A = this chain, B = another copy of it.
Amino acid sequence: MTDTPATPVPAHEPPYYVAVFTTVRSDDQDGYRETDARMEELVKEIPGYLGMDHAQTPGGLGITVGYFRDGDALARWRSDAEHRAAQRRGREQWYRSYTLHVAKVERSHGFTRE
């Protein structure tokens, strides 16, 4: 994911969905960057995709949060063939461990300094 400019996805009107993907990387990151860029391209084509935030502590945890308008948008992304192939490669190569939490947003708000 691109980390600049650092503008978080804004709070939307609930309900909407978040997919929280927390990762510990392996030592083998060969091909990761290209696949990640391709996934970013692909997910943008999903109707109801609202955006994605990403943070990566060097040598530590990575957290990616995807925002989707509804369960249909999420289901479509989840079943995308290229995405599924990337997930398999992630398990085999790029990630030592990960967790995924899919959740329905009940409230949200944003703050920006004046």
Contact = CB atoms under 8 A, between A and B. Distances in A.
A10 B61 CA distance: 13
A47 interface: no
A10 B111 contact: no
Contacts of A54: 57, 61, 63
B109 A100 contact: yes
A38 B108 CA distance: 24
Most buried by B among A6, A59, A103: A103
A101 B63 contact: no
A72 to B, nearest CB: 14
Interface in A99-113: 99-113
B20 A6 contact: no
Interface in A79-108: 91, 95-108
Contacts of A8: 22-24, 61, 97-99
A57 B60 contact: no
Interface of A: 3-4, 6-11, 17-18, 20, 22-24, 26, 53-63, 65, 67, 91, 95-113
